[in-house]
Each structure stands twice: as C-alpha cells, then as structure tokens.
Amino acid sequence: MVVLLSTISNPSRPTKLQEFHQKLGVLRDEAGGPFYLSDADGSDDWPERGIYVFFSHDTEPLVDPVEEWTITRIGTVGDSSGSTSTMWDRLRAHRGTVNSDYGEMGGNHRGSIFRKHVGRAFIEREGLHDEYPHWGVPHRNLPDGISTSEIRTQEHELEQRVSEYIRTLPYLVIDIPGEPGPDCERAMLEKNLIALVSHARRTSPDLKKDDWLGYHSPRAEIAKTGLWNIQHVSSFYSDDIIQRVEPHIKDTDPVMPEEHSN
C-alpha cells in the first residue's frame, strides 16, 4: 500500500485524499467507467443503491493519473426512511429529461439539488436574475398566478444548459446495498467522503480550479470547497473512512457486461 501511494503522490493533496483517489482508480479499473449521463440510461446494470462521484469537465479518468482527478460532487440515494429511489432514479433526475412537454433535453431542477446549484451558478455568473427570478423556488411558494406549466416553459432554456453541463461530467458509482434510512451506511459514508474532500480543499487552496463554474455560486459552501454539495462540507470525517468504503469498492460489479463496454 505504501509503495502504491508513493507512485501517485501529489504533495498538494493530504494523504487521506490521495488514498481516496487511489481507491477510485481501483473502482474505475475493476467496475468500469467513467460514465457520462449523455449516454447512460436505465437499461444499464446500475447498483440499486450506493454512492456516485462526479468529476470536473477537465478530468479524464480513462487517461489522467488518479492524483489529477478533480471531484466535484458526491451523492447517495436511499438515505431517508421509506425511500424507494434507486441509483438510476437519482442519476436520471440529475441528467434531466430527453423529451418532455417543455422541449428536448431539459429537466426539473426542483427535483434535483445538483441541477439547482448548477443553474444558480449560471445565473450569478451571467447576471440572469431578471430572466430567471424564481429559479429554485418550490412550486408551492411561487407567486399567485404563475402556473407550473408557465414557470417550466420560462425556465426551459436554462434547464437545457444545466443538462448539457451535467451530462458531460464523468462519474463513477459505488454499490452500497442496504435498507434506506438516515442512519444507513450509505449516509455515513457519503457524509465522511464529502467532509474529507471539503476539508482538503479548504485547507489546500491550490487544489481549486480557477475556471470552475461553481465558484460563481452564491453559496459559500460550494465556492469554498469546489464541490456541488452543501451538506456535510463542514463536518468532521472518520480517520478510518477509506477502510470503510474500500470493501464496497471491491464489491462493485461492472455496470455494463464486458462484451458491451467500450
């Protein structure tokens, strides 16, 4: 283990983050990927539940050394009691719609916090507040007289841009089965991994990418950490987090059968 980590050592990254990157490299090699929502669908053999890890646009996990990968979002599914959502349900919500009554390649940011954050960063970067004054406002809190259909039509162009952004991000998935609930292992691992990456970014500013869209976010949690995450970015992480996630990485099967993969 020490020899392997020394071969990918990046002194600007804390040791724990280097270890996580190394395990993600194992995940790529053993379980396949990276994946892109631009060509993913529900027919692929996604884990029923687990954790997904998105990377930046300038990360090429097939060719870049693992220490050069830039994580930009960590998320999970099935972390609330009674949840019936699957991994693909969550990924599909982030991907957006292929066709809908509002047009092609749109989406619904009110059903995906990831989409909401990306859209808000576009609004802030380009001064689009007047064009999208109700972005992120729940339907129940919209002003009287504005219908769901009207607001979805008004916001469709930005939803398309958000879809284009997210669909072209590389990502990997970790299979973590188990019953849903806030105390499940998935929830614990997600919290710790977000905290690990966030802490590294907040204490090592040179890990940030100057041109990353999220630095235009009005949420300090996003702008300071380089993650499209709000929750857990200020949490502490367990020192054994890598040891706890490693068995799940080893047990993650390829999403696509080998004969159908690229």
DSSP 78-140: --STT----HHHHHHHHH--SEETTEES---GGG-HHHHHHHHHHHHHHT-TTT-TTTT--GG
Extract the tokens encoding 116.
């909401």
The encoded tokens of residue 36 equal 């892109």
Give the pLDDT of residue 2.
29
Rounded mean pLDDT of the chain?
Answer: 90
pTM equals 0.91
Mean pLDDT of 109-120: 97
Percent of the chain scoring above 70 in pLDDT? 92
pLDDT category, 81, cuts 50, 70, 90? confident
The whole-number pLDDT of residue 259 equals 42
Q: Check residue 14 and give its pLDDT.
A: 79
Domain boundaries, the chain: 8-255
Given a cut of 90, whether residue 203 has pLDDT beyond it is no
**pLDDT of the residue at 12:** 63
- Any bridge partners for residue 103, and if so which? 100
At 118-140, the pLDDT tens digits run 999 999 999 999 999 999 999 88
CB 173 within 8 A of CB 52: yes
Residue 257 burial by Cβ neighbours in a 10 Å radius (0-12, 13-18, 19+): exposed
Residue with tokens 């270890």: 19
pLDDT in tens, 18-72: 999 999 999 999 999 999 999 999 889 999 999 999 999 999 999 999 999 999 9
- Taking only the tens place, the pLDDT of each residue in 209-245 is 778 999 999 999 999 999 999 999 999 999 999 999 9
Q: Is the pLDDT of residue 168 over 60?
A: yes
Which pLDDT band holds residue 163 (cuts at 50, 70, 90)? Answer: very high
pLDDT computed for residue 11 by the predictor: 53
